[in-house]
Amino acid sequence: MKKIVILTGAGMSVESGLSTFRGGGGLWDNYPVDMVATPEGYAANPGLVLEFYNKRRSELLNVEPNEGHRLVASLEDNFNVTVVTQNVDDLHERAGSTNVIHLHGELMKACSSREPHNLNYVCTLPSPDSELHIGDKAADGTQLRPYIVWFGEDVPLMCDAIQALDDVDIFVIIGTSLNVYPAAGLLNYVPAGVPIYLIDPNDVNVTRRGVVVIKKGASEGMRVLIDEYLSK
């Protein structure tokens, strides 16, 4: 069974109605990055940060996976699929994908403020009552914080994502500008000769030769990928 690794970004979930962080009208237009997505911002005003992610969680609980998510999940019928996502939502899992690497964390989880990457202190928040408040404690006694990789923090699962590319047969990129590192650097780890497909309605600066560009949104692009390239 051939192995497919799929790298997804915000464009994967935008059809579900989730707000993007970057671009015109993105969340960063209303919330400065340094206030809600850095360890320093959290230290300065933890209440604001908790409320920001409470709102993101509430938004997530009111949307559903789109056709693109479902088509990605359907590939598991014929391929060994690993999804590497920059998204913190759980829409891939809710669509049926069973092997998902979340590079930037998971919105529906919380962790220790002292050791945010220690899995012993990571917990899944209940739904629909998933809000975090000042005073909510992790198992180590520290304040529970969002299980999100903030700017300036290490990306602990990057090694797992790179390892997934060791024996990949097909690499697919969906809905990412390839401007956010280290995730964008995964393209450099794809072995020579492996087919690479990029699905995005916008222009994406790709320096690697031989990338097949499907200039469409996630759902329509996945239909094209499956019908014109993966069904041969």
Residues in Cβ contact with 187 at an 8 Å cutoff, skipping those fewer than 6 apart: 171, 173, 178, 196, 206, 208
**CA separation for the pair 204, 200 (Å, rounded):** 8
* Helix, coil or strand: residue 19: coil
Q: How far apart are CA 208 and CA 196, in angstroms?
A: 10
How many separate helices (H) and strands (E) can be counted in the chain? Answer: 8, 9
Strands (E), 42-164: 80-85, 100-102, 105-112, 123-124, 144-148
Q: If DSSP codes are grouped into helix, strand and coil, which group holds residue 4?
A: strand
Which candidate in 92, 104, 117, 133 is catalytic?
104
Is 117 annotated as catalytic?
no
Which amino acids are annotated catalytic? 104
